[in-house]
Amino acid sequence: MTTTLITNIGELTTNVATPSDACGTLSDAAVLIDDADIAWIGAAAEAPEAEDVVDAAGRAVIPGFVDSHTHLVFGGDRADEFEARMTGTPYAAGGIRRTVGATRAASDDELRARLATLVAELHAQGTTTFEIKTGYGLTVADEERMARIAAEVTPEVTFLGAHVVPAEYADRREQYVDLVTGEMLRACAPHSRWVDVFCERGAFSLDESRRILEAGIAEGLLARVHGNQLGHGDGVSLAVSVAAASVDHCTYLSDADVAALAGSDTVATLLPGVEFSTRQPYPDARRLIDAGVTVALASDCNPGSSFTSSMPLMIALAVREMGMTPAEAVWAATAGGARALRRDDVGHLSPGARADIVLLAAPTRVHLAYRPGVPLVSRVWRGGIAL
Ligand code: NIG
Ligand code: FE
């Protein structure tokens, strides 16, 4: 057992809400880490002794980022597609099939090496909890190995066999849905906590999506949904109707979608890296928050629509482009992500929580949006271990 005291914290974001401050902000504070957890939080002047002491020198401390939506296991990249988009070629979900080809061709060790590089990127940028989806294998064996390799680095693995219908099933899509809801699900469920479906024109219909989520739920998985990304659609209403933990993208929403989310426990997870990289309109976070919807921010790190692992970038985009305040954006990237993953041990700093802590090279969390592109993550602890 080791204890570490982080003291002289100028601004501490705890996310333990008070009536006037959802971020539970403390000044001149200290945090005591005992082994993997937080043991004490309070005024620096009253801090207990510890074996190690870290002097924050007036800088800001926030909870580690919770990135609740990534696709980190894949082969190849699609820089050529990005380049073409920037000269006017629109984003299409069909690009997913190119990554499917590259992922199937990669060995387990090649996938692991790529994954390790990306996980190191996430950690260096302050992400201490992350979810990973399958969905670039789309055969029983390839989906199973994606889920297995993802489970080596996170407990938050999502089975996304229903990402798109693979080319070899193009004219027999019903058989593909049978496969996803049968043999593929049974192979992936032991490595997974979640089931997801891309409910969108060009991917899976409402009926197909419902079948897939219900099969996953019957197999013991919890539901989440990709929806309303490329146009208006059924993703949000489906997610709410199956009590999904989260519906992700939410770029095109009707008033009924917003009302349904507001009356539910389903989080709206916004992924502004996608709009940045596909030149689509950003989702309207202000509209959602004002309606009482819980909003999370995530990176959607994947080689097609958003090849970035940076939660600070998501915060900067959410503030600049989506009407969120800096406090709301930091909350959404930490506590919001934890809600989207139904986790209560991360996303906040309080006694008993996991010691996932980020020390910023800045006096306040506002700097995450105010200084976009600047590496402000100075030190990161995950489960009490300095990364
Ligand atoms: O979340 N929307 C569907 N899936 C990914 C895109 C994956 C890709 O283009 O390879 C997403 O944006
Ligand atoms: Fe995604």
Q: Tell me, what amino acid is at 37?
A: D
Burial category of 168 from C-beta neighbours within 10 Å (exposed 0-12, middle 13-18, buried 19 and up): exposed
Q: Is the CB of 29 under 6 A from ligand 1?
A: no
Question: Tokens 């690009």 label which residue?
Answer: 95
* DSSP class of 302: B
Torsion sign across C-alpha atoms 195, 200, 201, 205: positive
Q: Is the CB of 31 under 6 A from ligand 1?
A: no
Nearest-angstrom CA–CA distance, 217 and 80: 38
Residue nearest to atom 12 of ligand 1 (CA): 305
Q: Is the CB of 300 under 6 A from ligand 1?
A: yes
- pLDDT score at 1: 66
Query: Who's near 163: CB < 8 A, 6+ residues apart?
Result: 96, 133, 134, 135, 136, 138, 198, 203
Q: Is the CB of 296 under 6 A from ligand 1?
A: no
Known binding positions for 4-imidazolone-5-propanoate: 78, 136, 163, 229, 305
Q: Is the CB of 305 under 6 A from ligand 1?
A: yes
DSSP codes of every residue in 60-109: EEEEPEEE--B-----S--HHHHHHHTTTPPP-GGGHHHHHHHHHHS-HH
Known binding positions for Fe(3+): 69, 71, 226, 300
Burial category of 86 from C-beta neighbours within 10 Å (exposed 0-12, middle 13-18, buried 19 and up): exposed
Q: Is the CB of 226 under 6 A from ligand 1?
A: yes
Q: Is the CB of 204 under 6 A from ligand 1?
A: no
Q: Is the CB of 133 under 6 A from ligand 1?
A: no
In the reported structure, the alpha carbon of residue 198 is separated from the centroid of ligand 1 by a whole-number distance in angstroms of 8
Instruction: Please give the structure tokens belonging to residue 70.
Output: 């990534």
- Report which of 59, 24, 66 is spatially closest to residue 44, judged by C-alpha positions: 59
Q: Does the interface predicted TM-score (ipTM) exceed 0.95?
A: yes
**Contact in structure between 58 and 6 (CB atoms under 8 Å):** no
Query: Who's near 25: CB < 8 A, 6+ residues apart?
Result: 11, 12, 13, 14
Residue nearest to atom 6 of ligand 1 (CA): 305
Nearest-angstrom CA–CA distance, 363 and 56: 10
**Contact in structure between 302 and 274 (CB atoms under 8 Å):** no
Residue nearest to atom 5 of ligand 1 (CA): 305
Mutate to test the pocket of ligand 1, among 69, 71, 251, 270 (most ligand atoms within 8 A of CB): 71
In the reported structure, the alpha carbon of residue 165 is separated from the centroid of ligand 1 by a whole-number distance in angstroms of 13
In the reported structure, the alpha carbon of residue 163 is separated from the centroid of ligand 2 by a whole-number distance in angstroms of 9
Nearest-angstrom CA–CA distance, 290 and 261: 12
Q: Is the CB of 302 under 6 A from ligand 1?
A: yes
Instruction: Please give the structure tokens belonging to residue 210.
Output: 């419902």
| Helices 108-124, 140-151: crossing angle, 10 deg rounding | 40
* DSSP class of 216: H
Known binding positions for Zn(2+): 69, 71, 226, 300
- pLDDT score at 92: 84
Q: Is the CB of 198 under 6 A from ligand 1?
A: yes
Alpha helices in the chain (DSSP H): 79-85, 96-105, 108-124, 140-151, 173-179, 185-188, 206-218, 235-241, 255-262, 272-278, 285-290, 311-321, 326-331, 337-340, 367-370
CA dihedral 100, 101, 102, 108 (to 10 degrees): 70
Identify any residues that bridge with 38 across adjacent strands, giving them in sequence order.
33
Q: Tell me, what amino acid is at 280?
A: Q
Prediction pTM value: 0.98
Per-residue pLDDT of the chain (387 residues; tens, 9 = 90+): 689 999 999 999 999 999 999 999 999 999 999 999 999 999 999 999 999 999 999 999 999 999 999 999 999 999 999 999 999 999 887 899 999 999 999 999 999 999 999 999 999 999 999 999 999 999 999 999 999 999 999 999 999 999 999 999 999 999 999 999 999 999 999 999 999 999 999 999 999 999 999 999 999 999 999 999 999 999 999 999 999 999 999 999 999 999 999 999 999 999 999 999 999 999 999 999 999 999 999 999 999 999 999 999 999 999 999 999 999 999 999 999 999 999 999 999 999 999 999 999 999 999 999 999 999 999 999 999 999
Alpha helices in 226-333 (DSSP H): 235-241, 255-262, 272-278, 285-290, 311-321, 326-331
Instruction: Ligand 1, residue 96: give the atom nearest the CA.
Output: 10
